[in-house]
Amino acid sequence: MTTRGLASWNDTATRAAIVDFVERVTTEGGPDFVPPSERIATFDNDGTLWCEKPMPIEVGFILIRLAEMAEADESLREKQPWKAARERDHHWLGGAITSHYGGDDTDVKVLMAGILQAFSGVSVEDYAAAADSFLSGGKHPTLDRTFRACGYLPMIELLAYLEANGFTNYIASGGDRDFMRPVTEEIYGIPAERVIGSSNALRYLEDEHGGTITYAAEPDVFDDGPVKPTRIWSRIGRRPILAGGNSNGDIAMLRYAGGKGRIGLRLLVLHDDADREFEYTAGAERSLETAAAEGWTVVSVKNDWATVFDRT
């Protein structure tokens, strides 16, 4: 077992639990040994691998497109989500996501409907280029760092540590799959084909260049809650033995880790450090209760991480 690589983790019970788990599943001949091909780890993205406050980074990207639409069409300016985008109302946009994790989908449905219209007819290549440009040039509104530098260094180290010990890492996020794909390999070492996320429906259009894939104004899948395990199985064909999340939307994925007759490690990131990042539990109340009841490993940003971020 490779034990190096968790330099940004404090020497706490949480770090010890991670190392112990990896040691158990990588010790050949041991009772908990898992072959490398079956060492699957799945992680949520927003709030688990990178910062999600004051609103998810992806929502900032969507905000720009919605604001452009509102400027071009006056009839949209008093309708949500275009109104919030035009007025840069981060509270409404971020609150829609938080309310979803609290069980109220009223505003998130309005937001999703706007997103479907915003990118209808856009090619997947143009969308990826726009997302890459946004993530390259944008800065977080309060942390004074670029979006690409908003990844949590301890989690990035954890991904590398797992890979060094024969794990294959995947992202299973409620965020848009194609928004994440341009940067996941650079930030996390996770290639685009290992990103599972929400998506709009796609259409193939014949053209002289061999065809173009574009987005339709229809939903495909919202990768959250109980949908996460089904998407993980459909994409990977294996059950993860380790899963990491931070919200109520990750409960099903965390429970799915391990399974009958096999140990699993379930990591729940707790945002409790207002000085270095943010402090909040809204949208994570049930996951924290479940973690306490079922013995999951809670990762305290304040206590378990010596460093939160790396470069600026």
| Residue 215 φ/ψ, nearest 5 degrees | -85, 140
pLDDT for 59: 83
| pTM as predicted | 0.92
Buried b (16+ CB within 10 A) or exposed e, 272-303: bbeeebbeeeebbeebbebbeeeebbbbebbe
Other beta carbons less than 10 A from residue 183's beta carbon: 20
Radius of gyration of the chain (CA): 20
Tokens of 27: 């010790």
CA–CA separation, 24 and 262 (whole Å) = 11
Residues 17-66 pLDDT 10s:
999 999 999 999 999 999 999 999 999 999 999 999 988 898 888 888 99
Residues 240-257 pLDDT 10s:
999 999 999 999 999 999
Residues 180-227 pLDDT 10s:
999 999 999 999 999 999 999 999 999 998 999 999 999 899 999 999
- Looking at residue 34, its amino acid is V
Tokens of 42: 């799945």
Residue position matching structure tokens 């020497």? 11
Tokens of 93: 């946009």
Q: Shortest CA distance to 119 belongs to which of 33, 171, 177?
A: 177
CA–CA separation, 170 and 43 (whole Å) = 6
Whether the pLDDT of residue 303 is over 60: the answer is yes
Other beta carbons less than 10 A from residue 1's beta carbon: 12
pLDDT for 97: 80
pLDDT for 11: 97
Whether the pLDDT of residue 312 is over 70: the answer is no
Q: Which residues pair with 22 in a beta bridge?
A: none
Whether the pLDDT of residue 308 is over 60: the answer is yes
Residues 126-172 pLDDT 10s:
999 999 999 988 889 889 899 999 999 999 999 999 999 999 999 99
Whether the pLDDT of residue 3 is over 60: the answer is no
Q: Three-state SS for 216?
A: strand
pLDDT for 2: 59
Whether the pLDDT of residue 239 is over 70: the answer is yes
Task: Please give the residue that has the higher pLDDT: either 102 or 76.
Answer: 76
CA–CA separation, 157 and 282 (whole Å) = 27
Whether the pLDDT of residue 229 is over 70: the answer is yes
Could you tell me what percent of the chain has a pLDDT over 90?
80
Please check whether residue 253 is in contact with residue 172, taking contact to mean a CB–CB distance below 8 angstroms.
yes
pLDDT for 1: 60
What band does 9 get if pLDDT is binned at 50, 70 and 90?
very high
- Taking residues 266-279, what's their average pLDDT? 98
* Helix 106-118 / helix 57-72 crossing angle, nearest 10 deg: 60
Residue 8's alpha-carbon distances to 34, 39, 86, 288, 306, in angstroms, are 27, 23, 39, 24, 5
Task: Please give the residue that has the higher pLDDT: either 93 or 117.
Answer: 117
Q: Three-state SS for 268?
A: strand
What band does 96 get if pLDDT is binned at 50, 70 and 90?
confident
pLDDT for 137: 85
CA–CA separation, 64 and 134 (whole Å) = 10
- Looking at residue 254, its amino acid is L
**54 prior amide bond cis, ω within 30:** yes
